[in-house]
Structure 1
Amino acid sequence: MSDDEHEPQPQPQVQPQVKPEVEVEAEQAPSRTEQVAALRPAYQDDLADGLDRFFEPPRTSCPWCGSVRLETRLRTTDLLQHKPGRFVLDRCQDCRHTFQNPRLNGAGLEFYYRDFYDGLGEKQLGNTFASRTKMYEQRARALLPFDDAPKTWLDVGTGHGHFCEAARGVHSGTTFDGLDFTDGAELAERAGRVERGYRGSFTELAPELAARYDVVSMFHYLEHSTEPPLELEAARQAIRPGGHLVIEVPDPDSRYARLLGRWWLPWLQPQHLHFVPVANLRQRLTDLGFTVVLEQHAEPHDPVDLLAATWLALDNTAPRDNLPWLPHPPNALRRTLRGALLLAGVPALILGTLLDRFAVRPVSHRLGVSNAYRLVARRD
């Protein structure tokens, strides 16, 4: 900027304008009730053909190790969106891998993801993710002992890029790119949270990204993938030799998974397709030519288990909210009953929050209830 730009400039003469008698009101965004009403016909059409078309045939063997020794671990429903359907998680008795069986196919994934991260759910989820800056910074700091100045970092499953925006405060000299199957990566690029936003499948884009990155991160991404082993191979392809892979996933060995049953939030059915025990992931990374240099359980624990379980139980006991996949909106009586029940549950929600944050969090790993684990692995 030149010095001239700091000098006061002559102001142009402005002609007085006549104010119109009637001002045009700014166009209002549709209310949630209007959005739900507009979406209802399409959802009812989707459901008219039944739910079987959303699922693949059931597997008879473990997708991780191939064993045929399977057992049912959990049966549940969609506890967050309340879309219709029943979902089963099976566990391999040999390698202990837990997976959705039968698994959603492409049409099923589209149906159950719709209006969760986008549409009806976009604003709420966006606000939630944007408010987690401290957690994102902690994730970024996990790499510091092994590489305190990476030049390039690809965040896979980046959503709207909020992790990259926060991580830039820890790694100020790093160029962050994001990849996501949705348009979130493109939105993140337009918002300046990532330098480049790739939209698409990581396994398909990996050849284009070969050996381009010092770091690839997958934070709560692998459990959403239909083929986790292929995602790990794609990560190896995208990372330069000597670079690092940072992974964080739900821990299926958490005691909360057993104690809270279907009310354990990380089950997140039907979106979470795979739950990989830490020993399995370590071995697969070793087989791919990585060396695991860090394993954390206490640090990635998100202290929300009791609060979330309480909320899920209350929300599922109360009459349903107005949702487009339900045939009709609730009447006044059901809306009143729902509000009264949720209000009555506020003390339980407060208690759950206090226990999560102050009683359990300091000793979560000692109690074996950490709900996630994190690995940092170096590509050799």
Structure 2
Amino acid sequence: MTSTESGRPARKATARAQRIATLRSSYQSELADGTGRFFEPRRADCPWCGSTSLRVRLRTTDLLQHKPGSFTLNECRGCGHVFQNPRLTTAGLDFYYRDFYDGLGEQRLGAAFGMRTATYRNRARTVVPFAAVPHSWLDVGTGHGHFCETAHAIFPEASFDGLDLTEGVQLAERLGRVTHGFRGSFPELAPELAGRYDVVSMFHYLEHTADPQKELLAARQALRPGGLLLVEVPDPRCRYARLLGRWWLPWLQPQHLNMMPAPNLRQRLTDLGFTVLLEQHDKPHDAGDLLGACWLLLDALAPREDAPWLPGTPPGRVRRAWRDLLLLTGVPVLLLAALLDHLIAPFAHRAGLSNAYRLLARREAPAASRGDGSP
């Protein structure tokens, strides 16, 4: 290793510390009056079916970034829909997303997403029996565009566009991972994209949205008649969700606002004029529930890393060393958890442990009237 290479980690750490110091005053100013303004009033009914029979499913905090605030998930006793209540406001979404996928978090998350090539291939090949040669594909919630880059190798004749709220989609366009990168709200951008695509994909996107049903309407608008909608979301009925409680990584609070059981989503797609062609629970399973839970627990026990939204002074050498030691001590536990995840994966669906499901639906030709005012 050259001296230049050996010095890179130190330079990156210094650059990160400088960025944190620069952001600290603005974050602390935002938090001076607490987190109340980040939440809407609590709702008394289910946003999916309207039932007022609700129960508390989970109470937790931000276990990933450790930004201040507490979050409650309610479950509808009528349809099983799980939703954040009270829900984040626009200001709250901006606060809790900031520096997660971009900014301070861009390098870490970008590297993690870039290593999931096999997962992206698995997702892309779902459409092969139903659309051998798609020519235009829109990936909604595309992030940095890694899925589109991988899928293009499977469908080289297709043009892949990406849409996202974050600046990652603009990075994806600059790097050539997507042909066009659209930044903004899908329902707001859908009219200009109307009838343009053979395939619209939403991988772990719907659960992040304030109104998933509006997103499905936008997808129908962007698709040509006969086009395919490919959706993958976490499964709130996964047994791991109950066994692991707040340590189940797919709860991902405060980002996940809505988590719908498969029958709910299947029925809503049918109501919107789609024909559901495929439902999968085994292939979408991402074997990492035990590993994720162990990591979240270890991270919660360890002293905090420096972050501009945390009060007090940056951690000193003793705190950093104690954190490193605790995480190092936990490595055998993490390795054992990863091994168990790997061993359980082939049987996860049959045991009710699959943590996600995937639906593929075809948009049928529009009827004369659907009664909802949409195309």
Match of 2:340 among 355, 358, 378: 355
SS class of match (1:74): strand
Contact 2:139 2:201 in 1 (8 A): yes
Contact 1:298 1:365 in 2 (8 A): yes
Closer/same/farther in 2, CA of residues 306 and 270 from structure 1, 3 Å limit: same
In the alignment, what sits opposite 2:179? Answer: 195
Match of 1:79 among 36, 39, 63: 63
Give TM-score, length-normalised by structure 2: 0.92
The list of structure 1 runs, each at least 4 consecutive aligned residues, that deviate by more than 4 angstroms after superposition, is 27-30
In the alignment, what sits opposite 1:51? Answer: 35
**C-alpha separation between the residues in 2 aligned to 1:31 and 1:187?**
21
Closer/same/farther in 2, CA of residues 347 and 207 from structure 1, 3 Å limit: same
Letter paired with 1:264: W
In the alignment, what sits opposite 1:156? Answer: 140
**C-alpha separation between the residues in 2 aligned to 1:190 and 1:82?**
31
RMSD over aligned Cα atoms: 1.2
Match of 1:172 among 156, 160, 174: 156
In the alignment, what sits opposite 1:340? Answer: 325
Contact 2:102 2:166 in 1 (8 A): no
In the alignment, what sits opposite 1:209? Answer: 193
Letter paired with 2:303: P
Contact 2:298 2:327 in 1 (8 A): yes
Closer/same/farther in 2, CA of residues 32 and 239 from structure 1, 3 Å limit: same
Contact 1:177 1:196 in 2 (8 A): yes
Contact 2:190 2:219 in 1 (8 A): yes
In the alignment, what sits opposite 1:368? Answer: 352
SS class of match (1:172): coil
Instruction: Give the aligned length.
Output: 353
Task: Say which one has the larger Rg.
Answer: 1
**C-alpha separation between the residues in 2 aligned to 1:202 and 1:28?**
35
SS class of match (1:279): helix
**C-alpha separation between the residues in 2 aligned to 1:209 and 1:256?**
38
Give TM-score, length-normalised by structure 1: 0.91
1:33 Cα deviation from its structure 2 partner:
1.5
**C-alpha separation between the residues in 2 aligned to 1:50 and 1:276?**
31
**C-alpha separation between the residues in 1 aligned to 2:318 and 2:114?**
35
SS class of match (1:88): strand
Q: How does 1:8-157 map to 2 (within 5 A)?
A: 31-157=15-141
1:331 Cα deviation from its structure 2 partner:
2.7
Deviations 1:343-365 (A, max 9, x none): 110000000111111x1111110
1:34 Cα deviation from its structure 2 partner:
1.5
1:28 Cα deviation from its structure 2 partner:
8.6
Deviates more, 1:136-145 or 1:34-43: 34-43
Contact 2:302 2:326 in 1 (8 A): yes
Deviations 1:46-90 (A, max 9, x none): 110110000000000000000000100000000000001100000
**C-alpha separation between the residues in 1 aligned to 2:159 and 2:320?**
49
Q: Give ranges in structure 2 of 5+ residues lacking alignment.
A: 1-10, 365-375
In the alignment, what sits opposite 1:12? Answer: none
Q: Give ranges in structure 1 of 5+ residues lacking alignment.
A: 1-26
